[in-house]
Amino acid sequence: MDATGSPADIIDTPPVLIAGAGPVGLTTALALHARGIAVQMVDAKPREALGHDPRAVALAHGSRLILERLGVWKDIGATPIRHIRVSQQDGFGQTRIEAADHGVDALGYVVRLGPLNQVLLQAVEQRGIPLRFHAPLGHVAHGHDTVIAQVGSVELQAALVVYAEGKPAGAGVVSKPYGQTAIVTEAFSAEPHEGLAQERFTTQGPLALLPLEKGYSIVWCMKPERAEMLMALDDAGFLAALSEATGFARRTWRQVAARHAYPLTLVTRGAMAHAREIALGNASQTLHPVAGQGLNLGLRDAFELAESLEGGVNAATLAAYARRRRFDRTAMIALTDRYVSLFSNDIAPLRGARGIGLAALNLLPPLRGLVARRMMFGLR
């Protein structure tokens, strides 16, 4: 196969067409291929773009199990999260969750998207899964039991189209701006992170410090005007503000990388107009980064789609997949949305209630275990 994606790459019409060669699309292709389902992939970007994404993401323990079953985990460079501390700024109460209490080596892992994409892409190419780059998906029409998709000058026929790139678009899409901006960067402290991740709820939004290699991946959410002010500070000023916000986990910050600011909006797509079109990952929902569930939800979608279609790509298996994923998707969207509403304010009664809740969670191992399982495996 010529990975550059010339029109000669496509000889046979595959039953499943995947648009998007990001981590969710590539995982979907590997999971379908492992069950003997032929796949064709297309992506609008050039091949080299996949390996140059500097962002870091958190993978749950359940996502590791998915990638292990697909035979790619051993090649992914990941920093384990062995301890999680949840607290609120200017308020009492905290919860600490330990991997050792739940019989796992790590509750989750932090990985860079670029290298993750490279590992998944290499696995796709090694398995001979056809993939065309510089090939945006165009008009999609429907036959009796097929989908006819225009990809450049080529017309492809498939039993199913999977959208796995970009944000939700088209009819049935609902947007909810959060009035928050996320500052994303990496920072390095004099103290080792020892596998500790911190989720700190401030009055303007959550602050996440995730262990990444020898430093931290920082995702700091706040009102847009404060984000604009922090982005304008020099490195020393930004690190001083970061130290103040982290409270009892205050560290001696030495260095900060380039900062990037992103407005935050919840975007969800309703049911697709046609049963033979499915959206996964960010193409289905774009979540607030609190609790880091976006990519993990997409990977669960990908793996369970392949399991559902093992009996064939038909109306019954597609309907079974939709039923199977409805609860996890709906519940995770609602959960992250409510976290933002509950914790991103400075209302005194709520601040007290949050503190009581965090303290109670820390004192009740069964409840803490339930939260840990939801973080690792989603809602089923």
Q: What is the DSSP letter of 144?
A: S
Is residue 65 domain-resident?
A: no
Assess if residue 302 is contained within a domain. Answer: yes
Asked if residue 70 belongs to a domain, the reply is: no
**pLDDT value at residue 97:** 84
Q: What is the pLDDT along the chain (380 residues), one digit of tens a residue?
A: 333 343 334 334 458 999 999 999 999 999 999 999 999 999 999 888 887 777 899 999 999 999 999 999 999 999 999 998 887 766 556 788 888 888 899 999 999 999 999 999 999 999 999 999 999 999 899 888 889 999 988 898 998 999 998 888 777 899 999 999 999 999 999 999 999 998 888 888 889 999 999 999 999 999 999 999 999 999 999 999 999 888 756 788 999 999 999 999 999 988 787 889 999 989 999 998 877 788 999 999 999 999 999 988 998 999 999 988 988 888 888 888 887 776 665 555 555 555 555 555 555 555 555 565 666 556 55
Is the distance from CB of 93 to CB of 200 less than 8 angstroms? no
Q: What residues pair up with 173 in beta bridges, in sequence order?
A: 269
d(CA 280, CA 41): 14
pLDDT at site 101: 84
Residue 54 contacts by C-beta under 8 Å, 6 or more apart in sequence?
112, 113, 114
Eight-class DSSP state of 90: T
Question: Which of 164, 212, 180, 199 lies closest to 57, judged by CA?
Answer: 212
Residue 66 lies in a domain: no
CATH of the domain at 38: 3.50.50.60
Q: Which long-range contacts (CB under 8 A, 24 or more apart) does 375-378 make?
A: 375/60, 375/84, 375/97, 375/107, 375/108, 375/291, 376/60, 376/61, 376/62, 376/102, 376/104, 376/107, 376/108, 377/60, 377/61, 377/62, 378/60, 378/62, 378/293, 378/296, 378/297, 378/300, 378/328, 378/332
Please report the pLDDT score of residue 248 as a whole number: 58
For 65, counting Cβ atoms within 10 Å of its Cβ (0-12 exposed, 13-18 middle, 19+ buried), the class is middle
What span, in angstroms and rounded, lies between the C-alpha atoms of 247 and 87?
9
Q: What is the pLDDT of residue 352?
A: 53
In whole angstroms, what is the distance from residue 14 CA to residue 37 CA?
8
Task: Judge whether 327 lies within some domain.
Answer: yes
Secondary structure of residue 159 in the 3-state scheme: coil
Predicted local confidence at residue 86, as pLDDT = 83
DSSP-derived letter for residue 345 is -
**Domain-embedded: residue 356:** no
Residue 150 has phi, psi (to 5 degrees) of -95, 120
> According to DSSP H, which parts of the chain are helical?
23-34, 61-69, 113-126, 224-232, 235-245, 294-308, 315-343, 348-363, 365-377
Residue 362 covered by a domain: no
* Pair 289, 217: CB distance under 8 Å: no
Confirm if 139 and 259 have CB atoms less than 8 A apart: no
In a domain, residue 257? The reply is no
Helices (H) and strands (E) in the chain, counts: 9, 20
**What's the structural domain count of the chain?**
1
Residues contacting 162, CB < 8 A, separation 6+? 16, 17, 18, 19, 20, 25, 28, 278, 279, 280, 305
In which domain, by residue range, is 12 found? 7-57+113-173+265-340
Rounded CA separation 271/278 (Å): 9
